[in-house]
């Protein structure tokens, strides 16, 4: 499929050929759902922890005598029904991460790129870099594509350190490499800006298998 390529000032300069298997495939909502959930689960730290009655540091004495008070029997003040006692079935440190099938993850990425094309959120731009890593220059490029304050994802052709440095002070911008995409950022981005070489690399990266 033919797709327009824009210059950094926002004007159309040429067209390139994009792989329809990657940028114009049938959108799989299920694979997108599972891919986003997988990313969110893998980001969870899982350090929440509570103490049981065996771990809490409290008195071992009985709160009152066994018989004659009319109350239920209590062995010590660490009982979960007492203030300062342990927690029943509270969270413990755990690993929430899991692996998603490779084919499903690739299908999700193709679906998200195709969805960006269908919703007219995906823009292919000529390759550029930042000579000095200044945020001002990158912000001016984004302004030409009306990205101000809108959640934007920029897909690079490689791991350009200077562009990443320039993007650090732009809160609404998320920078990704073409071979390390994030399903969450592609789904929620109002604008997806793809460098020309990155778009051609995506043709091969997700189009072969």
- Kindly state whether residues 59 and 11 are assigned to the same domain: no
Query: Parallel, antiparallel, or unpaired: how do β-strands 12-17 and 2-6 relate?
Result: antiparallel
**pLDDT tens digit sequence for 157-173:** 888 889 999 999 899 99
Name the 3-class secondary structure at 113: helix
Chosen domain end from 95, 112, 132 = 95
**pLDDT tens digit sequence for 8-67:** 888 888 899 999 999 999 999 999 999 999 999 999 999 999 999 999 988 888 888 999
Chosen domain end from 73, 95, 117 = 95
- Kindly state whether residues 158 and 138 are assigned to the same domain: yes
- Kindly state whether residues 181 and 123 are assigned to the same domain: yes
Chosen domain end from 95, 129, 164 = 95
Strand residue runs (E) in the chain: 2-6, 12-17, 122-125, 152-156, 173-177, 191-195
Task: Output the CA angle 1-208-36, nearest 5 degrees.
Answer: 85
CATH label of the domain that carries residue 21: 3.40.1370.10
- Kindly state whether residues 77 and 153 are assigned to the same domain: no
- Kindly state whether residues 119 and 38 are assigned to the same domain: yes
Q: How far is Cα 155 from Cα 25, in angstroms, rounded to an integer? A: 20
Q: Work out the angle between the directed axes of helices 29-43 and 102-118 (0-180°, nearest 10).
A: 110
Per-residue pLDDT, 60: 83
- Kindly state whether residues 38 and 132 are assigned to the same domain: yes
- Kindly state whether residues 60 and 127 are assigned to the same domain: no
- Kindly state whether residues 35 and 118 are assigned to the same domain: yes
Question: What percentage of residues in the chain have a pLDDT greater than 70?
Answer: 99
Q: Work out the pLDDT band at 209, boundaries 50, 70, 90.
A: low
- Dig out the tokens for 116 from the structure: 């960006």
- Kindly state whether residues 89 and 169 are assigned to the same domain: no
Strands laid side by side in the 191-195 sheet: 12-17, 2-6, 122-125, 191-195, 152-156, 173-177
Q: How far is Cα 20 from Cα 113, in angstroms, rounded to an integer? A: 10
- Kindly state whether residues 108 and 91 are assigned to the same domain: no
| Residues paired with residue 152 on neighbouring β-strands, in sequence order | 173, 191
Number of domains in the chain: 2
- Which residues fall within 8 angstroms of residue 57, CB to CB, at 6 or more apart? none
- Kindly state whether residues 52 and 131 are assigned to the same domain: no
The single residue listed with the structure tokens 């792989």 is 19
The domain in which residue 180 lies consists of 2-44+101-205
- Kindly state whether residues 123 and 181 are assigned to the same domain: yes
Per-residue pLDDT, 81: 86
- Dig out the tokens for 49 from the structure: 């922890």
The single residue listed with the structure tokens 């007492």 is 82
């Amino acid at each position: 499929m033919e797709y327009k390529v824009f210059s950094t000032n926002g004007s159309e300069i040429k067209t390139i050929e994009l792989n329809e298997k990657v940028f114009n495939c049938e959108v799989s909502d299920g694979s997108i759902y599972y891919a986003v959930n997988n990313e969110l689960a893998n980001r969870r730290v899982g350090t929440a922890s509570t103490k049981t009655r065996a771990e809490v540091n409290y008195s071992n004495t009985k709160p009152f005598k066994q018989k004659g008070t009319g109350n239920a029997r209590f062995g010590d003040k660490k009982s979960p029904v007492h203030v300062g006692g342990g927690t029943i079935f509270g969270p413990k440190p755990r690993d929430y991460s899991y692996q998603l099938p490779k084919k499903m993850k690739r299908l999700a990425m193709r679906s998200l790129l195709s969805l960006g094309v269908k919703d007219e959120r995906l823009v292919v731009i000529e390759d550029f870099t930042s000579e000095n890593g200044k945020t001002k220059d990158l912000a001016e490029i984004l302004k030409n594509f009306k990205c101000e304050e809108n959640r934007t994802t920029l897909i690079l052709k490689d791991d350009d350190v200077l562009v990443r440095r320039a993007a650090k002070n732009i809160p609404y911008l998320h920078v990704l490499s073409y071979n390390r995409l994030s399903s969450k950022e592609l789904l929620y981005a109002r604008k997806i800006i793809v460098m020309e070489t990155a778009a051609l690399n995506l043709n091969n990266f997700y189009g072969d298998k």
